[in-house]
Structure 1
Amino acid sequence: MEDRLPSIIEVGDVLVSIDIFREKFCCDLDACHGECCVEGDAGAPVTIDEVAAIEDAVETVWPGLTASAQAVIDRQGVAYTDEEGDLVTSIVGGKDCVFTCHEGGCCFCALEKAYREGSIKFCKPISCALYPIREVALSNGTVGLNYHQWDVCRAAMAKGRETGMPVYRFLKEPLIRRFGAGWYSMLEEAADELKRMGMI
């Protein structure tokens, strides 16, 4: 019976994995120290518009970047095309995002820090803000949202289970930023229906 249940539902014109409703997640910086900013073998996916916004913000955040990050940006810019053909933020030493800054033993995004201080208007790439949701462009032109599990986020998964925080609720702000408040209301309605049906 369980494996006959749908694993994906349609919310507006977006295909959403049931795991986004079912799985629990809540970032725990005290435990992970922002490890997601410095792990992996490629930068964060970005759009052309985001690259332009980041380029506008570079001068403001520049003093907070490491010398290595500044050298990478000087050499190849704020973004590059990775081996899979995706446009991603530039990285240092094969892993650290160039916009990683360290403070109090934690890694932070220099862009987000400047945004929250009111210094720039761009927060950070939507791909970063949406994590652990990964957005995929489908061949028919629609968008899919999948839940991605990464070992560096095990503390966030544990905290999510402790607090009962589902992924879609933890990411309310970036989901609204990406798809709009009206779409998020439909997502909440879908969650209520899935609960009613005993699927989550």
Structure 2
Amino acid sequence: MFQLGKTLVSEEIIEKDFVCNLTACKGACCVDGDAGAPLEESETQILRDIYHKVKPFLRQEGIEAIEEQGHYVIGEDGEWETPLIGKKECAYTVFDKKGIAKCGLEEAYNEGVTSWKKPVSCHLYPVRITEYTNLTAVNYHKWQLCDPACDLGESLQVPIYKFVRDALVRKFGENWYAELVEIANEHKSSRNK
């Protein structure tokens, strides 16, 4: 780990490669697991505010889950998260014609209906953020479902921090990301010596 401002960053995000491979995984991260997508407190208001715009993009099962449980729920860990459909997929999940799970929130964003892409936790994946009192931990979350993404990333030589560039900038800003790139370049050159 290394410190970058008020963040502690795992070296894995600069050492490991990753590129989502939806043809292999079918968007399983939206479906598998035992909890909804983690939400920041500010995102709970956003979900309430944009729901009427996003609703036409959602499946009936998702709409029913949201209208029964709420736009967001408190998970077993006491943190905010998206509701689930039958303890399985995220209520905001939609499926394309090939059966690939996608985000209904992101579909609305892509169509220009909203200006909010999706929860930052989803945008950052496979990076996970943990907030502490004085520091924020930035870690790589290894999940077997994403083995095809690791393989694709390795074949394309795309490190995690480059794959999630836009999300890291969204979360921490351009200056933070520029410093991360410098650290990554120094790290790479020191390993090549």
CA distance in 1 between partners of 2:3 and 2:88 (Å): 35
* 1:35-54 matched pairs, under 5 angstroms: 35-54=28-47
Q: Pick the aligned partner of 2:110 from 89, 113, 116.
A: 116
* Contact 2:94/2:104 (8 A) holds in 1: yes
Spell out structure 1 runs of 4+ moving beyond 6 A: none
Cα-to-partner distance string for 1:163-189 (whole Å, 9 max, x where unaligned): 011000111110001110111000001
User: In the alignment, residue 45 of structure 1 is paired with which amino acid?
Assistant: P
Between structures 1 and 2, the one with greater strand share: 1
* 1:145-156 matched pairs, under 5 angstroms: 145-156=138-149
SS state at 1:41 partner: coil
* Contact 1:12/1:186 (8 A) holds in 2: no
Is 1:62 matched up with 2:51?
Answer: no
CA gap of 1:9–1:94, structure 2 versus 1, over 3 A, is same
TM-score by length of 1: 0.92
Q: Pick the aligned partner of 1:127 from 121, 129, 134.
A: 121
- Please state how far the C-alpha of 1:38 moved relative to its aligned partner: 0.6
TM-score by length of 2: 0.95
User: In the alignment, residue 62 of structure 2 is paired with which amino acid?
Assistant: A
* Contact 1:54/1:122 (8 A) holds in 2: no
Is 1:15 matched up with 2:21?
Answer: no
Structure 2 unaligned spans of 5+: none
- Please state how far the C-alpha of 1:108 moved relative to its aligned partner: 0.8
* Contact 2:65/2:91 (8 A) holds in 1: yes
User: In the alignment, residue 51 of structure 1 is paired with which amino acid?
Assistant: T
- Please state how far the C-alpha of 1:64 moved relative to its aligned partner: 2.5
SS state at 1:135 partner: strand
SS state at 2:138 partner: strand
User: In the alignment, residue 44 of structure 1 is paired with which amino acid?
Assistant: A
Considering only aligned residues, what root-mean-square deviation do their CA atoms show, in Å? Answer: 1.4
Is 1:88 matched up with 2:88?
Answer: no
User: In the alignment, residue 111 of structure 1 is paired with which amino acid?
Assistant: L
Cα-to-partner distance string for 1:53-110 (whole Å, 9 max, x where unaligned): 1111111121232222212211121111111111100111102101101112211101
CA distance in 2 between partners of 1:74 and 1:26 (Å): 34
Is 1:168 matched up with 2:161?
Answer: yes
Structure 1 unaligned spans of 5+: 1-7
CA distance in 1 between partners of 2:41 and 2:9 (Å): 24
